[in-house]
Amino acid sequence: MPGTGAGGGWTDGEAQVGGVRLHWIEAGTGAPVVLLHGFPEFGYAWRHQLPALAAAGFRAVAPDMRGYNLSDKPAGYRNYTVQHLAGDVVGLVRALGAERVHLVGHDWGGVVAWYVAMHHPEVVDRLVVINAPHPGVFRREIRRPDQFLRSWYVGFFQLPQVPEWAIRRKDYALLERIFRYDTVRPGAFTDADIRRYKEAAARPGALTAMLSYYRALRIPRPEPVPVRAPTLLIWGMRDQALSEGNTQGLEEWVPDLRVERIPDSSHWVMSDVPERTNELLAGFLRST
């Protein structure tokens, strides 16, 4: 079953959070680290990081975000605004019995992590974002031809029904192509990994819920404010969807910022360079 602890060296948990039931996998004990995945993955995205963070003395928790895999999938794209998604994270922190956590996010999980750190700073100790643009900086970058062209899929995913058909056709061939050919390291995603992602996307209501993150972009979002938490931005430089410009000019928004650019990684940093990712996470989160 995708996302369960069977054979993965982690355990499963779940809680009712803000009207939805969230499922997660976790490993280790110690200071809590919440790891937020992106599209089209789920908590399993952090399979390489969970044991490493546990070994480093942390309680690593990787939820299936709302709409994904074993978590609830409320109908309607209005249930997938960043306000809802950030609220889920705050609720999860409380469900874990914590006041504050280290927060790590990749892709859509990184976008949500930015908003949590900006608008719910009381729950964030340290912040790590991996290949996810800061909302304020992305407003600048999307006006530039390079990033505008790279973001073509965002508009496509907002169309009704067509994206679901395109992703499902030929046994989710689009997902398989992403995981096999958009990475730098050959075999970064194994056959078993890809099968898990396909099975998770095929769950009733899952694919539409996953695409609802993009469709909810039509709804106004909170304005960016400065991030107070110490922040590490990790960026795979061979990202096909996001330009390097998203790593520049963040000082206005993130005063306490460190940027690590990884030349031999694609968008899928945690799978392309898992050892380097683990080293950066453990080192930064251990800092005081």
Instruction: Tell me, yes or no, if 197 is annotated catalytic.
Output: no
Instruction: Tell me, yes or no, if 107 is annotated catalytic.
Output: yes
Instruction: Tell me, yes or no, if 214 is annotated catalytic.
Output: yes
Closest CA to 79 of 177, 233, 194, 211: 211
Which entry of 68, 214, 239, 272 is annotated as an active-site residue? 214
**Sign of the CA dihedral running 101, 106, 111, 114:** positive
Which entry of 72, 107, 125, 239 is annotated as an active-site residue? 107
Which entry of 115, 239, 267, 272 is annotated as an active-site residue? 267
Q: Catalytic amino acids?
A: 107, 214, 267
